Homo-oligomer: A and B are copies of this chain.
């Protein structure tokens, strides 16, 4: 379900967090679905339970999942999350475009590039 990239410089718990965020936002995991238990995911990734716990804590803090002690963790309703994530995404786009302006990259040039790349595929 999840693959770790040990060459990645980012900490493991962050990789796990980000992977699940993608799974939830893309609809693979739906509202109410139960997450794998901390221990089971830890063993299946050959990782310490603490590391998974930390990843789940971050996901809960960001409202992607909610946790019932002794029962497990479950996917939250994502509707409100979606708009928030979009806002965050456009913020990062702004940052990148600002950097791009130093390199004299125009909005039109950007549009041509992304249209041609055809990421919808």
Give chain A's interface residues, CB within 8 Å of chain B: 6-7, 9, 11, 22, 25-26, 61, 66-69, 71, 82, 85-86, 89-90, 92-94, 96-103, 105-107, 110-111, 113-115, 117, 119-120
Task: Show 20 residue pairs from A and B whose CB-CB distance is below 8 angstroms, ordered by the A residue.
Answer: A6-B68, A6-B71, A7-B68, A22-B102, A25-B102, A26-B102, A85-B103, A86-B103, A89-B96, A89-B99, A89-B105, A92-B96, A93-B110, A93-B113, A93-B114, A94-B114, A97-B117, A107-B114, A107-B115, A110-B110
B residues near A67, Cβ cutoff 8 Å: 9
Decide: B93 and A96 in contact? CB cutoff 8 A.
yes
B residues near A119, Cβ cutoff 8 Å: 94, 97-98, 100-101, 107
Copies in the complex: 4
The dominant DSSP class at the A interface is helix
Q: How far is the CB of A69 from chain B (nearest CB, A)?
A: 7
Q: How far is the CB of A105 from chain B (nearest CB, A)?
A: 7
